[in-house]
Structure 1
């Protein structure tokens, strides 16, 4: 095994950092792969690591090795990439956020037109539970390294304030707690988080809040996007997204969808088996 003490790698945002095999192993452990598989992959990547190698290349190497061992673990490992495949319009990501909130007990509507005090607004997700009434906007990115900057929470907060004036005039809303929120599939800049939290927005990204970001909630609730499945082609995933299907859970609940998009019966068993495994929650 070659020494990786002095080897630097390049992150998606072009930052140069030392390669840390422990970080690689921790990311692999999130897939629930067997420890011997994790150790084996980590050692093989250590042998192949080179100065200036990108984290993208390292991910590709690890994913290929993991897929050869366990398709379900590979699906879990590609969660971040799978969220970026909920495009290109971003509407599937809005549906995905709606599904997460629905499984957390909210009544949700996706793509709603609401009249504000000044103008109409198209709201990505409206979520209601008990006395909570939330206006959620979704910022979708198709590639890593693109952070959600302060302009987005500034814009969303101003829209929320306009909608909130109208909401407060509705019957039965005297005791409602109205909040605006921002969900993104990547990360927030420091300024974006500072403003969003100061303004009282519900801020959610790939890894924020700590232990309750998208990656944590997906694992906890068993709500993996169907784009995580490694035994579906890109074209097949697109057909399902076009039908409004975004979760492995939905696919497993309605197997006939596979036939509807032209997938041969011989492939159904493996696809549905992986879907079932990814539906398991950690609660």
Structure 2
């Protein structure tokens, strides 16, 4: 049975892929089995991936609210916008969790010109990272080859001045086919949601439990926007807010206590994860 992706392509419904996604969200096997069986019966030819996602999310939320929040991670990332700055802040926090010392929104000199860099990271034993963060707030948004061309050109200019600097391109969605072909041809470091295979952005988020605040189902959207504006991008950061701070964002004590409990459960991880290169 074929379903419709957000970019207009038709693909076969893949129950195994749905199973893997639900297991990554740490949902118990019985619920995963029931959810996949339920969706296999419910979907119709031409159903959109968004419709399927919403139905799965509703099914899971009735049994496991935190598992549903984890499963909703990719869509929660789309809600960090509309601007790309919260995504840049988020990547900075993610890199810090893996041992990088970071600066967000800095200007770095190259051999020919200065470059505005979204996230600049340093870590002992690794080359410095000049990260271009390409944020999309729609599921069908993809980063194309024009972006890889200019990011690689910037990488060359930075590397000529500082051989210890390496350009990196990271997006919260996917790359086009040509973008991947070019990046692999020139040896460029790139990360998309599930690219490279088993080394994509989603994996590094899940390994550390670094879920954005937009993952929390009980957090009002306006409150989330205000928190993001002030650089509070991780659910775990809510655990360090005082009640006084929370009231300033319009959160009453009872609601804030529930959010903190949700955030603690959401961000609990097994193990520490490996370090991205």
Partner of residue 135 from structure 1, selected from 130, 134, 137:
130
Q: Which residue of 2 aligns with 1:51?
A: 45
Which range moved further: 101-110 or 248-257?
Answer: 248-257
Structure 2 residue 153 is matched with structure 1 residue 158: yes
CA-atom RMSD, angstroms?
Answer: 1.7
Structure 2 residue 57 is matched with structure 1 residue 70: no
Asked if structure 1 preserves the Cα contact closer than 8 Å seen for 2:5 and 2:49, the reply is: yes
Q: Which residue of 2 aligns with 1:173?
A: none
Which range moved further: 96-105 or 15-24?
Answer: 15-24
Q: Which residue of 2 aligns with 1:241?
A: 228
Partner of residue 255 from structure 2, selected from 240, 263, 267:
267
TM-score, structure 1 as length reference? 0.89
Q: Which residue of 1 aligns with 2:90?
A: 96
TM-score, structure 2 as length reference? 0.91
What is the CA-CA distance between 1:233 and the residue it aligns to? 1.6
Partner of residue 180 from structure 1, selected from 167, 172, 177:
167
Which range moved further: 151-160 or 253-262?
Answer: 253-262
Structure 2 residue 76 is matched with structure 1 residue 82: yes
What is the CA-CA distance between 1:184 and the residue it aligns to? 0.4
- Deviation string for 1:76-104 (max 9, x for gaps)? 01111111111111101011111111111
Gaps of 5+ in 1: 1-6, 169-176
Gaps of 5+ in 2: 272-277
What is the CA-CA distance between 1:242 and the residue it aligns to? 0.8
- Deviation string for 1:128-186 (max 9, x for gaps)? 11252111110111111222111111101112222333335xxxxxxxx2211000001
Greater C-alpha Rg: 1
Between Structure 1 and Structure 2, how many residues are aligned? 269
Q: Which residue of 2 aligns with 1:19?
A: 13
What is the CA-CA distance between 1:279 and the residue it aligns to? 1.9
Asked if structure 1 preserves the Cα contact closer than 8 Å seen for 2:211 and 2:234, the reply is: yes
Q: Which residue of 1 aligns with 2:275?
A: none
Asked if structure 1 preserves the Cα contact closer than 8 Å seen for 2:159 and 2:165, the reply is: yes
- Kindly report structure 1 stretches of 4+ aligned residues shifted beyond 4 Å: none
Distance 2:199 2:156 in 1: 26
What is the CA-CA distance between 1:222 and the residue it aligns to? 1.3
